[in-house]
Amino acid sequence: MVPDTFFIQTVGCQMNVLDSELIAAELRRAGYVPADGVRRADVVLLNTCSVRAHAEDKIYSALGRLKHAKQYNPRKIIGVLGCMAQKDQQLIFRRAPHVDLVVGPGRLHRLPELLQRVADGGGPCLDVSLDRAAEDRRSVRQSFVPFTPLRPAKTPSAPHQTMVRIMSGCDKFCSYCIVPRVRGPEQSRPAAEIVDEVRRLADAGCLEVILLGQTVNSYKDRTGPRTIALADLLAMLDRIEGLRRIKFVTNHPRHITKSLLEAVRDLPKVSPYLHVPAQSGSDAVLRRMKRGYGAATYREMLDRIRETVPNAAVTSDFIVGFCGETEEDFRQTVELVRNARFKNSFIFKYSPRPETKAAKLYADDVPEAVKRRRNNELLAIQNVISLEDNQPYFGRVVEILVEGPSKVARKRAAVITKRATAGSPQPGPFSEEEGTVQLVGRTVCDRIVVFDGPRELTGRIMPVRIDKADAFTLFGSTVDLG
C-alpha cells in the first residue's frame, strides 16, 4: 500500500517550529512520508499559536480553506495542534466541523497513536492537558508532558543548526499572556539528557544549537545533588567537541544573573547575544503587566550586561497600547528604546487574550488607531538605531554560519521549478546555471548577512566582507583567502 503523506503548517514562535520538526521526525518514524503541499497530503496538521488574536484568525481562515479538501481525498485527516488547540479545544470542532483531531502542546507525544485511531474511524479525537486553574497541581503538571522525543541526529531541514528545548512551560503569568495556560507549568529538562542530545547532534555535524525556553534563563535542573542553572549547563555544552556556537532564547530580565553574564563572557562557544524583552518603559504599565520589575531595574540590568559583556547584542520585545497606557507611559517606552540601543526590537500591539488577568481586570481602552501609531513610531525609532548599529560593520570581515539560500533565492527557485515543469526556458537573472545563489547566514551576534555564493557553502562557518548595511541586514561578499 502507498504510505500516507503528511504536511505541517506552522505559525507561532520557535517552540512551535521545533515542535513541528519533532512531529515530522516522529511521523517519518511511524512510516508517513512528507508531502509537498496541503492539497496532496493525506494528513494536514496545523501547528497553532494563540499569543495574539491575529495568529488565531490566520488559523481559522486556513481551516476555512480546507473545508472542501476531503471531497478530493476522503482519506484526508485534518489536525489542529499546539497552543490554540489547548486554548479552544471543542470550539475548534464547532467552528470547523471538518477537523478530525485536536491535540494540545502537552499531548504531542500521543500524535501517531491518535492519527491511527482517526484513520481507523475512531475520530474525531481531542487530547488536551488539564486546565491550569484546576485544583490538583500535580495532575495538571502530569498532563503537560514535555515533548522531547529522541530525534534523528540529522535534521533534514538544517543539519548544521538545531533548536534544542531545555525547558517547557512558563510560571510567570504576565497579565497579558496566554502562554502559561497553553504551555503549562515550567519544567526544566535534566541537564544530562540535554548534553547527550547535543553531543549526538554535534557528532552528526551540527555546529550551532539554539537552546529554547519561554524564560530560558530560569532553567534549573534539580534532579541531581546540586542544582544546575543555565550558566552551568552552558559550561557543560561548551565542552562538546565539534559544536561551535550556542545561543539561547528567551531571557527574562529578572534572571539575568552575574554567573550567566560571566558564562556568556567567558565561554568561547556561547554567543554574546541576549534577547531580554522589556515590554514597556513605564513603571505603571509594567506593574499592570505583572512583569516583576520596573524600568529602573531593567536599565540596571542593561548596565550590568554592558559592563560584563560589552560586545553583546541585546534585543527586546515591546507591547504598545496595553490597557491604560497613556501618552506619557508611551513616551517612557520611547525613552527606554532611545537609551537602551537594542540591536532590534519586536513590537506588538496589545491583543486581549481571554482568561488572562489583564483581560479580566482591565479594559482594552487604547483605540486601535493609537496602538497602530505607537507601534509605527516605536518601530521607526528602533529602525534608526538598528541602522546605526549595523553601520560600523561596513568594510569589516565577519564570521558567519551559512544557513542556506535566502528567501528571495528560494522564491526564485520555486518560480524556476514551476516554469521548468511547464517547459519554458529558465529566466536570465537567476544564475543557477553558474551555481551561485543568494545565501543567508548569521553572525555570532545573530546579525543576518546576505551574500552571493554557491549553494554548497550551506552549513559552513566562514568569513564574509560586509559591503552594505541596512537596518535589518548586512550585505556581504565572499572573502578570497588566497
Contacts with ligand F3S by CB under 6 A lie at 12-13, 15-16, 49-51, 83, 178-179, 182-183
Distance CA 430, CA 408 (A): 10
C-beta of 87 vs 374, nearer to ligand F3S: 87
C-beta of 333 vs 458, nearer to ligand SAH: 333
Q: Which residues here bind ligand SF4, judged by CB under 6 A?
A: 170, 172-174, 177, 179-180, 214-215, 252
CB of 224 to ligand SF4, least distance (A): 26
Q: Where are the alpha helices (DSSP H) in 341-480?
A: 357-361, 368-390, 407-422
Which does residue 180 touch among ligand SAH, ligand F3S, ligand SF4, none (CB within 5 to 8 A, set by kind)?
ligand SF4
Distance CA 373, CA 429 (A): 39
Which does residue 305 touch among ligand F3S, ligand SAH, ligand SF4, none (CB within 5 to 8 A, set by kind)?
none
DSSP 320-358: ES-TT--HHHHHHHHHHHHHH--SEEEEEE----TTSHH
Which does residue 43 touch among ligand F3S, ligand SAH, ligand SF4, none (CB within 5 to 8 A, set by kind)?
none
Backbone phi and psi for residue 336, each to the nearest 5 degrees, phi listed first:
-60, -45
CB of 462 to ligand SF4, least distance (A): 35
DSSP single-letter state for residue 256:
-
Distance CA 394, CA 312 (A): 18
3-state secondary structure at position 114: helix
C-beta of 53 vs 387, nearer to ligand SF4: 53
Which does residue 109 touch among ligand F3S, ligand SF4, ligand SAH, none (CB within 5 to 8 A, set by kind)?
none
C-beta of 38 vs 249, nearer to ligand SAH: 249
CB 167 within 8 A of CB 183: no
CB of 23 to ligand F3S, least distance (A): 14
Residue type, 407: K
3-state secondary structure at position 299: helix
Report the 10 Å Cβ neighbour count for 241.
Answer: 7
Which does residue 160 touch among ligand SF4, ligand SAH, ligand F3S, none (CB within 5 to 8 A, set by kind)?
none
C-beta of 363 vs 420, nearer to ligand SAH: 363
CB of 181 to ligand SF4, least distance (A): 9
CB of 454 to ligand SAH, least distance (A): 36
Tell me the three cell numbers of residue 300.
540596571
DSSP single-letter state for residue 465:
E
Site for ligand SAH in 290-349 (CB under 6 A): 317, 319, 348
Backbone phi and psi for residue 45, each to the nearest 5 degrees, phi listed first:
-120, 130
| Residues found near ligand SAH in the complex (CB under 6 A) | 51-52, 176-177, 179, 214-215, 250, 252, 277, 279, 317, 319, 348, 350-351, 353
